[in-house]
Chains A and B, each alone.
Chain A
Amino acid sequence: MAKTLEEINEKIRSGNVVVVTAEEMVGVVAEKGAKEAAEAVDVVTTGTFGPMCSSGVMMNLGHSRPRMKCGGGQVRLNRVPAYAGLAAVDIFLGATALPDEDPRNAVFPGGFRYGGGHVIEDLVAGRRVLLEGTAYGTDCYPRREVATWLTLQELNECYLFNPRNGYQNYNVAVNRSDRTIYTYMGTLLPRLGSANYCSAGQLSPLLNDPHYRTVGVGTRIFLGGGAGYVVWHGTQHSPSVERTDRGVPKSGAGTLAVLGDLKQMSSRWLRGASFRGYGATLVVGLGVPIPVLDEEIAASTAISDEDIVAPVVDYSKAYPERQSKVMCHVTYAQLKSGAIEVDGKTVPATPLSSYPRAKEIAQTLKDWVADGKLELSAPVANLPGADAKIAPRPMADHPPRG
């Protein structure tokens, strides 16, 4: 018998809701079958904790006396430049931004020890951050320079915004060349010396709702340790990729744009990170609750690592050259065993996304729902599905005439 979201929320309010994590749901459905599981379980919680470069913080600095128009000027936080092309004191700090004086890859591979992601972690941890800014001065905003220490609590609105997060499946990265390469998928040893993957697999949010039946614009989620929202489909959302018989995408597919109040978050779930030779970024904790409205959703949330396949891609050639060559597909069960077979060779497989932390997020979200701290929200608009036939386009190549 199908349930409505309102019935589930009523159970949350009365303290009778049954919540399990996506990992636990595998066993529930194996034991009871999807039909009975749909009646027994109301909510399945998911989680993922991985590096996400498409992260940043929108903040309002408050007005100084005399006033200063940072918009059109320049601002830096702990030497890391933030975007100031907005109103007077609204700025956006991106996770991959680097101080001007960072040597980047001039001495290869660069270390990228401090960037935007680290400033975000410092802010969330309550540490003070140095704001420096210059402006051109106007009649109504005469001040031209500022330097002051700030803390998160002293800022006005401050929210984390991920234009893209929660990638539904992802590549497994290998290196077929003869030298070690340094990528956003970590350090990859030569001649298929290592394989790195980056998904929570069976706990990953969108792998548990493969056709975006319950998650959409307005879905309330766990973000960085606080409650946030899905606000749009994420950039490079690609729902029409090839899928397995169970409807699970066989490569990177759907993505989410998410937003949440930074003041509710914690540095346990937002971590500045450095990828050697690649850059600075932010590791973001994300969890999505899935209402078990019917048998089909119960079956989808019972997806296990054996059922999810990921494409193995060569990051020494195929990826940088944007060739759509997939060497082979492997399951997350194989990846998590610690070794995969590629070209007849046994390759050690290591994760970049923390499974223990993903599990902790799903457990935390389970507690929030069970304790009535988080009610489920119905999407106000659906995410584009496989039938929308949208796919990321490559960059247009129309160079200007010299």
Chain B
Amino acid sequence: MTTTQVSHKVVLHFPPTATGQPVVYTLSREYGLAFNILRASISPQEEGLMVIELSGSEKDYGRATGYLKKIGVRLQPLVQDIRKNDERCTDCGACVGVCPTRALVVERPSMKVTFDPDACVVCGECVPCCPVGAMELQF
């Protein structure tokens, strides 16, 4: 029997009761999932939010989501996306300095700005930094 490998980018919403638990450790240790944390924050009301990529066998992934539900963590597929509007973009480069993952880079020698959606972690920094409104957050 072959096992199907899956990889999902998801948003985890932690209730105050779950923020003290080693959830990511459990996902990795107990369910054998590889993880890549893209963003994490805790709001003033102590609600945690984490954008994470989880990879592993389909079966383990299913068991892991069951565990998350049990401890009250709400799981939501990542549907946000950053898009570069090439009609608006003037290739100035203002976004490049603030992009933490080098998803936005200046190509050389053309000096044109290119965007690699696969390298983007949807941090959103480029959106308000783009002077001409070419970087768009889509839901």
Chain A residues proximal to chain B, CB less than 8 Å:
49-51, 109, 111, 113, 186-189, 193-196, 271-276, 281, 283, 336-338, 348, 350-357
Chain B stretch 62-118: residues in CB contact (< 8 A) with chain A: 90-94, 96-98, 106, 108, 110-112
B129 contacts chain A at the CB level, 8 A cutoff: yes
Contact A273 B131 (CB under 8 A): yes
Q: How far is the CA of A189 from the CA of B96 in the complex (A)?
A: 12
Q: What are the residues of chain A within 8 A of B93 when measuring CB–CB?
A: 350-352, 354
Partner of B132 from A194, A271, A337 at Cβ < 8 Å: A271
B111 and A189 contact, CB distance less than 8 A: no
**Contact: B111 with A111, CB < 8 Å?**
no
The interface residues of chain A lying within 8 Å CB-to-CB of B132 are: 271-274, 283
B16 to chain A: which residues have CB within 8 Å? none
Q: Quick one: which of B98, B111, B128 contacts A194, CB cutoff 8 A?
A: B98
Interface size on B, residues (CB 8 A): 18
Chain B proximity of A286: nearest CB distance (Å): 14
Instruction: Summarize B's interface: helix, strand, loop or mixed.
Output: loop
B97 pairs with A186, CB closer than 8 A: yes
Q: Chain B contacts of A351 at CB under 8 A?
A: 92-93, 106, 111
Question: Is A187 a contact partner of B133 (Cβ separation < 8 A)?
Answer: no
Residue of A nearest to B100 (CB): A189
With a CB–CB cut-off of 8 A, which chain A residues contact B131?
51, 186, 273-275, 281, 283, 352
Q: Which residue of A lies closest to B88 (CB)?
A: A271
A276 partner, pick from B91, B108, B111, B129, beta carbons under 8 A: B129
Q: Which residue of B lies closest to A273 (CB)?
A: B131
Q: How close is B127's CB to chain A, nearest CB, in angstroms?
A: 10
Chain A residues lying within 8 Å of B96, measured Cβ to Cβ, are: 348, 350
In chain A, what residue has the closest Cβ to B109? A336
7 A-B pairs closest in CB distance: A273-B131, A194-B97, A355-B111, A351-B93, A350-B97, A350-B96, A356-B91
